[in-house]
Amino acid sequence: MMNLVPLTKEFVKQQLQNAESGHDWFHIERVWKLSKTIAESYDCNRQVVELGALLHDIADAKFHNGDETLGPKIAEDFLTENHADPQIISRVLDIMVNISFKNRNEVKGEKSIELQIVQDADRLDAIGAIGIARTFNFGGFKNNPIYIPEIKPNIHQSKEEYKKNKGTTINHFYEKLLLLKDLMNTEKGKSMAEERHRFMETFLERFFSEWEGER
């Protein structure tokens, strides 16, 4: 069997041509690189990690009317057509189905090490400087306000509430981004998350003091 990774890379690039900039090919490329970095510290199947990272947002449900089955379907068809081993296919699909933040309370049983790695990589790309940029881009894409002091963050939301939330982009930091550091699966991911987390705290501190005209 031909090495599937370069083939998958070209397929994903093609599929994501018109994606929102926070979920485009460059997001995938960053998550792919981060996954490889984290994977170096663990005994895991590299092919599953790389394919999972490359395919994880191939058809993100939030851009497809909430349809969570489309991405795994596209990936399964692609991998089958390219003669991937059925065992590899099922491990990659497991990553795709279980990676999402909004489904975090629904994952049953133990997470595979490959899922843990790709999920950490995806979460690292959601925080730090890149995370801030992606979040404001997505907020603008949704036409959400940057910040409204009267609207308070809603932290313990059900999946349904989280999805239909029409909050402010600043609240998204409290509803998701600042929670990610403590949700990291791997020790390596945890340590990589720290500096990114501190950078967001510094950003928010400055945001509020500039908002008040204090500096």
Work out what residue 138 binds among ligand ADP, Ni ion, none; the CB cut-off runs from 5 to 8 Å by kind: ligand ADP
CB nearer to Ni ion: pick between 142 and 152: 142
Quote the tokens at residue 149: 């002091």
- The mark string for 42-71 relative to Ni ion (x by CB under 5 A, - otherwise) is ---------------x--------------
CB nearer to ligand ADP: pick between 4 and 200: 200
The distance of closest approach from Cβ of residue 172 to ligand ADP in the complex, given in angstroms and rounded to an integer, is 4
Distance CA 167, CA 116 (A): 29
Of 124, 141, 129, 102, which is closest to residue 186 (Cα–Cα)? Answer: 124
Residue 122 in the binding site for Ni ion (CB under 5 A) = yes
User: Can you give the binding site for ligand ADP, defined by CB under 6 A?
Assistant: 22, 62, 100-102, 126, 134-135, 138-139, 144, 165, 169, 172, 176
The distance of closest approach from Cβ of residue 106 to ligand ADP in the complex, given in angstroms and rounded to an integer, is 12
Beta strands in the chain (DSSP E): none
> DSSP alpha helices (H): ranges in 16-112?
25-39, 46-55, 70-81, 86-98
The residue behind tokens 């070209």 is: 10
Q: What is the DSSP string of 48-69?
A: HHHHHHHHTTTT-GGGTTT-SS
Quote the tokens at residue 136: 């404001």
Work out what residue 100 binds among ligand ADP, Ni ion, none; the CB cut-off runs from 5 to 8 Å by kind: ligand ADP
Distance CA 189, CA 38 (A): 7
Please tell me what DSSP assigns to residue 215.
-
Distance CA 55, CA 2 (A): 18
CB nearer to ligand ADP: pick between 11 and 131: 131
CB nearer to Ni ion: pick between 98 and 151: 98
The distance of closest approach from Cβ of residue 182 to Ni ion in the complex, given in angstroms and rounded to an integer, is 19
CB nearer to Ni ion: pick between 111 and 147: 111
Please tell me the count of residues contacting Ni ion according to CB under 5 A. Answer: 2
The contact set with Ni ion (CB under 5 A) reads 57, 122
